Every structure is written in structure tokens, then in C-alpha cells.
Amino acid sequence: MAGQLVFDAPWLKDLRGRAIVQPLRRRVPLWAGQSVIGSVEAGLLDDQALHVMLDAISQILQQEHPVELGWRLLGDVTTSLNLLARALYGAGLAGEWRSEQLAVHDQFDHLKGTVERAAVRTLGITTAAVHLVGQTPDGRHWVQQRSMKKSNDPGLWDTLMGGMVSAADTVETALERETWEEAGLRMPTLQDVVYGGRILTRRPANDGKGRGYVIEDIDWFRCTVPEGVTPVNRDGEVAQFALMDSDTLLQAMQRGAFTTEAALILVEVLGLHT
């Protein structure tokens, strides 16, 4: 069926282009010792709302000279990052507070610490996510519509499951946990669960009054959802689930009804190439 699908080549080129977008404004490195762990928009700490906290921030963060070298964390990485996250959130320069720690790696993929999820976009920290593509035995696709309460991409359609990998997780444990929370499905009830691949996304984010930047590595899996098994959301973050055949799925993707990440993954599943 995938070989018979008709799609708009410029749309596919544009979709892939939207996955990798340069920052809107200049960013400078965020250092921890000799490691680069993220980036911040140049002049971020000049924000008036944050200015009142500069004395406290100066205990955990210092500007490098010349200024193009960026900012350097002082002290324990996890402690300093989370104090900085609190300050950013208090100034309205972070995303929704989730009380969830994400792993922080440097440019060599060495684990350096953890940080509150709300601050990762503002601080340009690389995050990890996992998605699950679910198909019925006859080849239709289970997809979810994101809740209108979601801070990112509310109301858009997504894969069967998509979630971030916390500091306490491996990709596999995150896959299992998120599949249960979002779709009410236990992994043993699913068939033919296999690793699909990895996609990368690098693009500006709305977090931090538009000063955030997404750097995310997404591992995705695919599975067969047995006939008679229906996903049911458990965490309130999904508006509804639906079954779409490949043609309907592709048409919805080309209308912009799906998130960029989900569309990139589903393009691979459908075997679309230019």
C-alpha cells in the first residue's frame, strides 16, 4: 500500500526542513567545567523580570569573557541548574513546571547532572523522547489527538504514544511507562514491538518568552495492536484516539494536522521518499 500512496513532494521537503531550524537569535554556550551542556540566548540574563534575581544567580552562574564564550555554571551541576531553573520560572522565562528531572549530557554525551524539565528549552539542553507507532493487523494506524490543555501542539494529532525520557528512565522503561499512561496499554499485550529508528529535531521553542530552543533526539518503535484491543488515555493528556488508514493518515499529515515529530516518524513508516 505504501508504494501506491500519492504525496506532495514539496510538502515532504518542507516537513523535513522544519525539523532542523536555526535559532531565531544568537545563542551562546552554557558551560559546566570544561563541558558544554546547553546554550542560552545572548542577553537572556538582561531580562528585566530576571534582573531582580541577578545577585542570587551570580552565586551559581558567571559570564565568560569575551562574552561570546557564554555562561559557566558554578558548583554542583544539578544543584546549580535547578536553582537556575527556579529563577527562570519565577521570571516567566521557563515552560510549565513539571517537577520532573531530565538528564543533562555534554557535547561528548557524558552525563553531567539533571535539571527540571521546565527549563530545558530556555537552556538549550538536549532532551530524549520516545514514540510508539501502533498498527492493527490489517495495517491501519492508531493515532492520538493531543489535549487542548497541552502547552505544546495542543489539538494536533500524534503517534499512538509520545513522551520524554526522564532522568530516572531508560528508553525502554520510558516506552513502557508512557504507553501505559497515555494509551492504557501494557507492552505484553502488544505484538511485534521493534525499534524503528531515531529522528532529530532542532528548532526554536516558545518557552522562555520565545527564547527557548528545542534540541531533541527521538527514538521510535512500532508494534501491532491486536484486534479488539483499544487504547484508553489515563493521564488526561489525550483528547481522543482514532484509527486511520494510510491514505487518510497521509492526507491529514499534508493538511498540517500532525505534529512535526509524528509526521517525520510516520513518513518513515509509510515509506515516503523524495
Q: Is 74 helix (H, G, I), strand (E, B) or coil?
A: coil
Number of separate helices (H) and strands (E) present in the chain: 8, 13
| Mean pLDDT for the stretch of residues 208-217 | 93
Q: What's the one-letter identity of residue 175? A: L
Q: Are 197 and 268 in contact (CB under 8 A)?
A: yes
CA neighbours closer than 13 Å in the CB half-sphere of residue 12 = 15
DSSP conformational letter for 53: T
Give tens-digit pLDDT for 80-92: 999 999 999 998 9
Q: Are 45 and 54 in contact (CB under 8 A)?
A: yes
- Above 50 in pLDDT, residue 1? no
Give tens-digit pLDDT for 105-154: 999 999 999 999 999 999 999 999 999 999 999 999 999 999 999 988 99
How wide is the angle at C-alpha 21 spanned by C-alphas 117 and 143, nearest 5°? 65
> How far apart, in whole angstroms, are the C-alpha atoms of residue 242 and residue 140?
10
pTM of the model: 0.93
- Above 80 in pLDDT, residue 49? no
> How far apart, in whole angstroms, are the C-alpha atoms of residue 272 and residue 230?
27
| Mean pLDDT for the stretch of residues 250-254 | 97
Q: Is 255 helix (H, G, I), strand (E, B) or coil?
A: coil
- Above 80 in pLDDT, residue 79? yes
Ramachandran assignment for 211, one of left (phi > 0), alpha (psi -120 to 50 degrees), beta (any other) = alpha
Q: Is 66 helix (H, G, I), strand (E, B) or coil?
A: coil
Question: For the CA atoms of 42, 46, 49, 55, what is the dihedral angle to 10 degrees?
Answer: 120
Domains and CATH numbers, the chain: 2-21+127-270 (3.90.79.10), 27-119 (no CATH)
Give tens-digit pLDDT for 161-203: 999 999 999 999 999 999 999 999 999 999 999 999 999 999 9
> How far apart, in whole angstroms, are the C-alpha atoms of residue 111 and residue 59?
23
> How far apart, in whole angstroms, are the C-alpha atoms of residue 25 and residue 205?
12
